[in-house]
């Protein structure tokens, strides 16, 4: 992490501490496509602010993402910061803005990070609406949030302990490997086949870079993907963002209940 990125995260955390009169948080969540409907069930509302008003953050530009940071007290008494949107790598702002929310959460005291996304599925058994726990990822962006000789161990990028806790809420949750592409174009059928050959089960345009930054900061990471569509070449339909949004709406009640249950045991 550069000194500038570290200072910006520190400034954002200081701003939020003052804004909410909360010295530290325990958990941070980033809600991707389809997941924002779950925010209201995560616990008692403490406060909220537009993301664009926080130092270093920009208002999310992708349809289907919210634009707020919500503070919630979970049923277990922990304080959770919920980001209802994210900056994507394909927006062209560089990798530092993509992971600024993660670094801000770490500077604010979080020890646990929950990353969610909507994605394409390679497994025909995972129909749209299926939630998959991430057990690993493949980063095909060609970039990293790390700077210099920063050797971060990613052998447990997605915490086994947190996945076990998630399985106490829903024992049937499958696990898979997420492949992050640069975007914003959807993957071609050949690229999807390549991802499968490499060991991928899911394809999307977020999450991996944030996970790397989180592990650098010492955060434990839980990843949750909502399969919004069959990946290119895996089905007959053309890919369309409206399909992603509709799947999220259809799955909204289950996602909200599942997310609340998982956060309650973290």
Q: Give per-residue pLDDT as tens, 131-180.
A: 999 999 999 999 999 999 999 999 999 999 999 999 999 999 999 999 99
Domain boundaries, the chain: 1-265
Query: Does 248 count as an annotated binding residue?
Result: no
3-state helix, strand, coil in the chain (%, to 5): 35, 25, 40
Instruction: Check the annotation: does 137 bind a ligand.
Output: no
Among 3.30.70.360, 3.40.50.1580, 3.30.1050.10, 3.40.30.10, name the CATH number for the domain at 1-265. 3.40.50.1580
What confidence score (pLDDT) does residue 65 get? 56
What is the model's pTM? Answer: 0.93
88 annotated as a binding-site residue: yes
Enumerate residue ranges in the chain where pLDDT < 70.
61-66, 232-241, 243-245, 248
H or E segment to which residue 207 belongs: none
Spell out the residues 6+ positions from residue 191 whose beta carbon is closer than 8 angstroms to its own: 181, 203, 232
- Check the annotation: does 65 bind a ligand: yes
- Hey, which residues are catalytic here? 187
């Amino acid at each position: 992490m550069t000194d500038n990125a570290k200072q910006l995260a520190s400034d954002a955390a200081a701003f939020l501490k003052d804004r909410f009169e909360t010295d530290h948080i325990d958990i941070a969540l980033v809600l991707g496509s389809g997941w924002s409907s779950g925010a209201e069930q995560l616990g008692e509302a403490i406060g909220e602010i537009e993301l664009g008003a926080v130092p270093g953050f920009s208002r999310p530009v992708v349809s289907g993402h919210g634009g707020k940071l919500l503070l919630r007290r979970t049923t277990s008494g922990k304080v959770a910061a919920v980001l209802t949107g994210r900056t994507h790598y394909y927006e062209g702002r560089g990798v530092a803005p993509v992971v600024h929310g993660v670094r801000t959460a770490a500077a604010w005291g979080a020890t646990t990070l929950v990353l969610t996304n909507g994605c394409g599925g390679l497994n025909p058994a995972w129909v749209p609406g299926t939630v998959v726990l991430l057990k690993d990822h493949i980063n095909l962006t060609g970039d990293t949030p790390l700077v210099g000789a920063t050797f971060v161990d990613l052998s447990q990028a997605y915490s086994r302990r947190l996945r076990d806790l998630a399985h106490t809420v829903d024992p049937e949750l499958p696990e898979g490997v997420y492949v992050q592409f640069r975007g914003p174009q959807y993957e071609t059928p050949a690229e999807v086949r390549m991802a499968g050959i490499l060991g991928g089960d899911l394809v999307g345009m977020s999450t991996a870079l944030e996970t790397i930054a989180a592990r650098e900061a010492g955060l434990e990471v839980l990843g949750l993907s909502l399969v919004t569509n069959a990946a290119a070449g895996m089905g007959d339909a053309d890919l369309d963002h409206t399909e992603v949004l509709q799947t999220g709406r259809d799955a909204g009640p289950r996602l909200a209940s599942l997310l609340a249950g998982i956060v309650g045991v973290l």
